Structure 1
Amino acid sequence: MPSTHAYALFSQEPDAVLDAVATIGAELVIIPGGIPEEDFTTRDGLARTADLLNGFAEHAGRYGMRLGYHNHWWEIEPRIDGVHALEALAGLLAPEVFLEIDTYWAAVGGADVPALLDRLGARVLALHVKDGPGVKDRPHTAVGQGVMPVPDFLAAAPDALRIVELDNCDTDLYQALADSHAYLTGLERA
């Protein structure tokens, strides 16, 4: 497993969490939330967030791991200094901190996702690929069965790890995952 979310870094000793991550063999440790949404609305909040993530990254580095951050819509909607809050945060992060861009939430938050991915460049090591109606608080669909221009997202970050994520789904989750896999495999063959 190349990556894992490590929300537990907020509530447990970092060494215990990173030991568990080492057990499963992941080298990419991702913070998937846990930072107050309001911290993405001000420069001071972003500075606090960057300090926190940079500290976790330094700790992960001692384990030979890299730390990343996973976005939602609330890191995209606010603008700081004329750019999406996530982009402003990226400028404050240590170079070794990477981003796992959730393409669906970036689009719902108002980003032109291919342009965002292009601007973030090599900072993006992973993509969460999901699909659905493109609005908050509605169930997701299998990738390829919603409104997201998934091929455009993938083309904008061709070397990023692709991870299917369905936060919630009205259909059978396992069938949606199988359908997502088939769709993405079909894109790779095309």
Structure 2
Amino acid sequence: MKKILFPVCLAVLFVLGGADSFAQKGKLYTFPIGVESYTYRASFPKSVIATLDTIKALGITDMEGGAPRGMTEDEFKKLCDERGITISATGSGYEQIVKDPEATVKKAKALGASFVMVSWIPHQKAHFNLDNTKKAVEDFNRVGKVLKENGLTFCYHNHGYEFHPYEDGTLYDYIVKNTNPEYVSFEMDILWAQHGGADPVALLKKYGSRYKLMHLKDLKKGIKGDLTGGTPPENDVTLGEGQINIPEILRLAKKAGVKHYYIEDESNHEYEQMPKSIAYLKSLKE
């Protein structure tokens, strides 16, 4: 990790020109740089400190994530605080939050998070169905109420398989329409929406105010998606180099009131791609 950190710092200085604020006149992307900690899934087990130092060097001040294995939430938050990184959102497994939402609340509060997201509904691979959907709606409404009563916001993160056709729409439409807006919000993963056959732009136009969080990532040009909720890591490319209309998505997301944007790089080249993705966001104009 330490051998990797130095060239990354140089990349930040040369590619980004330092970690200055995005809040500049005429800029499309005007929010703090955010990252989903899964981006550094291969690095955190090697050295939490070196990984956080790398994240700080990129100018990142906002994170979605949880305490790495072997570390308490309090310990992880302290390390992030020391580097000026806020943990605004954390994730929870579906079974975990359904079984004990209060435990999830405790962990989220220890991290200082305001949002808790679930990114996967249990189902038979490639066979997500109406029964899975109805159970998720019931569970989401219930746990979302518990979280709200504790000052937190529950968000469901799409993964592509939800876009199976159903009636005059999709199973994703069913989830949005049948969850209580008071208790259930959404995090749009723009790659998985695109990969699942949906149009992120159309989703924002349709359900804008339901979205509170967003994963920024890009899908390689020429890749045709499916409803499996999976794609090889090489199909996750630097922002702006793929097939997703990121500028229009950001315009609509700002209008909808999305609160936090996290770059999530699921490739195996995160140290190369992250500085380029940040530079791309900084280059976007209104």
TM-score between both structures, scaled by the size of structure 2 = 0.59
CA drift of 1:17 comes to: 2.2
Aligned: 1:14 with 2:101: yes
Match of 1:137 in 2: 232
Post-superposition Cα deviations, 1:82-116, rounded to whole Å, max 9, x if no partner, equal 21211111011011210101111111111122111
CA drift of 1:39 comes to: 7.7
Q: Matched residues, percent identical?
A: 25
Among candidates 149, 155, 178, match of residue 245 of structure 2:
149
CA drift of 1:147 comes to: 2.1
Match of 2:264 in 1: 165
- Equivalenced residues, count: 185
CA drift of 1:22 comes to: 0.3
Cα separation, partners in 2 of 1:30 and 1:186, compared to 1, 3 Å:
same
Aligned: 1:185 with 2:271: no
CA drift of 1:127 comes to: 1.4
Contact 1:107 1:113 in 2 (8 A): yes
Match of 1:121 in 2: 208
Contact 1:54 1:94 in 2 (8 A): yes
Q: Distance in 2 between matches of 1:110 and 1:85?
A: 13
Aligned: 1:27 with 2:114: yes
SS of alignment partner, residue 154 of structure 1? helix
SS of alignment partner, residue 237 of structure 2? coil
Q: Which has the larger radius of gyration?
A: 2
SS of alignment partner, residue 232 of structure 2? coil
Q: Distance in 2 between matches of 1:130 and 1:123?
A: 20
Contact 2:233 2:268 in 1 (8 A): no
Match of 1:56 in 2: 143
Q: Distance in 2 between matches of 1:109 and 1:8?
A: 20
Post-superposition Cα deviations, 1:121-145, rounded to whole Å, max 9, x if no partner, equal 2001111110131443352112122
Structure 1 residue runs of 5 or longer lacking an equivalent are none
Contact 1:41 1:79 in 2 (8 A): no
**Cα root mean square deviation, aligned:** 2.1
Aligned: 1:85 with 2:171: yes
Cα separation, partners in 2 of 1:39 and 1:94, compared to 1, 3 Å:
farther
Cα separation, partners in 2 of 1:82 and 1:163, compared to 1, 3 Å:
same
Q: Distance in 2 between matches of 1:165 and 1:58?
A: 28
CA drift of 1:46 comes to: 2.1
Post-superposition Cα deviations, 1:54-93, rounded to whole Å, max 9, x if no partner, equal 11111212211010100011012x0112212111110110
Judge which range, 79-88 or 65-74, deviates more.
79-88
TM-score between both structures, scaled by the size of structure 1 = 0.87
What one-letter code is carried by the residue in structure 2 that aligns with 1:29?
Answer: V
Cα separation, partners in 2 of 1:87 and 1:145, compared to 1, 3 Å:
same
Structure 2 residue runs of 5 or longer lacking an equivalent are 1-86, 226-230
Match of 1:110 in 2: 197
CA drift of 1:18 comes to: 1.4
